[in-house]
Structure 1
Amino acid sequence: MANMTDSQYYQCIVVTSASVGTEIFKTHDLSFAEHSRTGFSEKTPYGGSGFFSAPYGDYWRFIKKLCLTELLSPKQLERSRAIQERELARFLQNGFESAKRKEVVDLGVELMKLTNNMLCKMAASTSCSEKGDEAERIRELMKDISSVGSKTFFGNMLGPFGLLAFWPSINYRLVPFLGL
């Protein structure tokens, strides 16, 4: 097993047995816990020191614990039940109104609004999708992030050649988000 953050490419192990796979995860857990550096991580705000790109260590464990104990704990979810019920009632009301007007509704967009509003109100006491096009902008942003993320992951697997194939499209998509 190689530490994936130290090399320009990934080394892969193919395991065909569940018991051997479990043993590998147990004995090499730190190798799997390390987050790889991408070709553009220095261009991101704070140099890629956020939760998803932070190296496994004290900071990462602290942030994970904070998220699980404060934001997503059973006690916090129970405290947020009223928020969840209000947002669900609003979601259903909007659905009924659209049905009365015989409008076609994109449930994917509406469920994204519901999820965004619940999470934003639980975390920051504000709604993030009340404006008409804001949910669509968030949805497009998530699609772009997913696309860029998968391309950089694949590009990292190709080593230095990955930058040649993927850098122009990744750089083009990142510039508007990072304000570069």
Structure 2
Amino acid sequence: MTKLKLATVWLGGCSGCHMSFLDLDEWLIDLAAQVDVVYSPIADIKEYPEGVDIVLVEGAIANEEHLELIHIIRQRTKTIIAFGDCAVTGNVTAMRNPTGNADVSLQLAYIEGADVNQQIPHAPGIVPPLLDKVIPVHYVVPVDIYLPGCPPSAPRIRAALEPLLKGEIPQMEGREMIKFG
């Protein structure tokens, strides 16, 4: 039996969706028997691989690195799951959008909000260049499955993944599967 290649990605978000994924507890052992985790913030893998079957994408697109990575993910992945409210709508990550643009947010965070060393980081590699607006995943690439929740519960994550492991499409309907928050 060939195992499916599973990836998880953390973009602009809080990592709560990944914590909820870990709440799958014993089912993670069953999942590990059926998939190879080929990319995840939980594992130290540097480059997103080719031929990924399923990816759970947590978080919104907030900076240029996210924008580049999501295009790579779409090219190399069969099924993209927008994993959690930030990936689906922008949610908390997009709360900076009403401030205007990225420069306003950086000014607020690094100058006005700082007690010491008031300076916006500018050396390459320190802070990836922010996009002016935080956007959900589907604004950039096609998404195959939406898994809302802040974070989605472990049973909801399992209910989305189990059919995919059997080559079926999960039924994302009813309050238990599509409730936000």
Between structure 1 and structure 2, the one with the greater Rg is: 1
Structure with greater helix share of residues: 1
- When the two structures are superposed, what TM-score results if normalisation uses the length of structure 2? 0.25
Using CA pairs under 8 Å that are at least 6 residues apart, name the structure with larger relative contact order, 1 or 2.
Answer: 2
Structure with greater strand share of residues: 2
- When the two structures are superposed, what TM-score results if normalisation uses the length of structure 1? 0.25
